[in-house]
Copies of this chain bind each other. A is one copy, B any other.
Amino acid sequence: MSVLAVGSVGYDTVFTPDASATNVLGGSLTFFSIAASCFTQVAIVGVVGEDFREEDRVLLDNHGIDASGLKTVNGRTFRWSGRYSSEDANLRETLDLQLNVSDGFTPTLTREQRRADYLFLANSDPALQLHVLSQMDARPKLVAADTIDVWIQGKRDVLAEVLKRVDVVFMDQGEVRAFAQESNLLRAAGVILNMGPTAVIAKRGEYGALMLTGDAVFVAPAFPLERVVDPTGAGDTFAGGFMGCLAAAGDLSPGAFRRALVLGSVMGSFVVEEFSVGRLASITYSQLVERFNAFIDITRFDGLKPGETLPWRKGNDARREAHIRSN
C-alpha cells in the first residue's frame, strides 16, 4: 500500500556542540519520505523554490519517491536554522526561520492522491491539514498527523478539528501535556485520545516514545547510541518508519502498531548519526535487521515461565499483613 505525505521540504543550517552543516536538505517530507520509502511506495506533496537543487530531486528519485507533487514555484525554498544545546540534546533553539515559498502554500491533490490509503499530515498549520483531509475521496485506512507547540498555542480549536479526523497523532511529550493541559503524560495522552484519535504517540527524544491506544500503553526507549551527530529530522523519520512499516504490512493490529513504532525508532536512530539524510539515505536491509535485533537485545528480559514465581520472602507476609491492617 502506498503512503501520501503532505508537508515541507527545505534547507537546514544546523549547529551542534561539535559541528555544523549549512543549507543541507531537510524538512518534514524529506525525512518522512526517505524513511517510509524503505518499506513502501511514497508520494509527497509540497513546494520548493527555484533554488531547489537538482541533486536533491535525484536523491528523492533514487529512493523511488513519487515527487511529482513537489511543486517548484518562483522564490526561495523554505529555510530553517537551529542550534542544539550542549547540555541537553533534546533542547534546540531556532536561530532563523524563512517560510519563503511555503508561506501560504495550499496544496490541491490529484485524483490519484485523493485515493491514498495511508495519509501523513506532517507538522503544518492545522487549517492546511484540514484542507488536505477535506480533499480525500474517502476516509483513508489510516491518517496520521504531527503538530507542534505553535499550533497548540495559536490554533487550538482548528487542531482539535484535525484530531477528530485522524487515527494517529504524533506530538512531543511536552506538547501532549500542554495541549491536554494536564501535567501527567498518561492522563494527558488519555485526554487527547478522547478527542478522536485511536493512538496518541508521545515522542520523548532520546528516551523514545510512549503510545497510548485505548487502555493499552506501549513504551519503547530510543536506541542508545555512542555518537549522535544531529537530532534534526528524528521525529519525522520516526513517523516515516512507523507509517511505512504499517502500510507495507497492511496490518493495523495492536501488534503491528508496536512493531511499527519500534521500526520507527530504529529508523530514527540511523538519521541522527549524520547531518541531514546522510545516514538515512544509505540504510540497507541487513543494517535494518541488525539494528532491529539489537533493539530487541537491549530491551528484552525474561517474564515468568509457566509455574515460575518471583522471589518473595514468604516468612515476612504475616508480619507485613499485621502492619497493613494496623495502619
Interface residue? A183 (CB, 8 A): yes
Contact A184 B221 (CB under 8 A): no
Interface residue? A282 (CB, 8 A): yes
Which residues of chain B come closer than 8 Å to A204, judged between CB atoms?
207
Contact B313 A37 (CB under 8 A): yes
Interface residue? A68 (CB, 8 A): no
Most B CB atoms within 10 A — which of A185, A186, A309, A310? A310
- Give this chain's copy count: 2
The CA of A63 and the CA of B300, in the complex, are separated in Å by 32
The CA of A323 and the CA of B219, in the complex, are separated in Å by 35
Task: For the complex formed, measure the closest distance between the CB of A24 and the CB atoms of chain B, giving whole angstroms.
Answer: 13
Contact A224 B262 (CB under 8 A): no
Task: For the complex formed, measure the closest distance between the CB of A275 and the CB atoms of chain B, giving whole angstroms.
Answer: 13
Given contacts A219-B224, A224-B219, A298-B217, contact A316 B184 (CB under 8 A): no
The CA of A85 and the CA of B48, in the complex, are separated in Å by 44
Which residues 1-54 in A have Cβ within 8 Å of B in the complex?
17, 37-41
Contact A228 B184 (CB under 8 A): yes
Task: For the complex formed, measure the closest distance between the CB of A270 and the CB atoms of chain B, giving whole angstroms.
Answer: 13
Contact B63 A312 (CB under 8 A): no
* A40 nearest CB neighbor, chain B only: B313
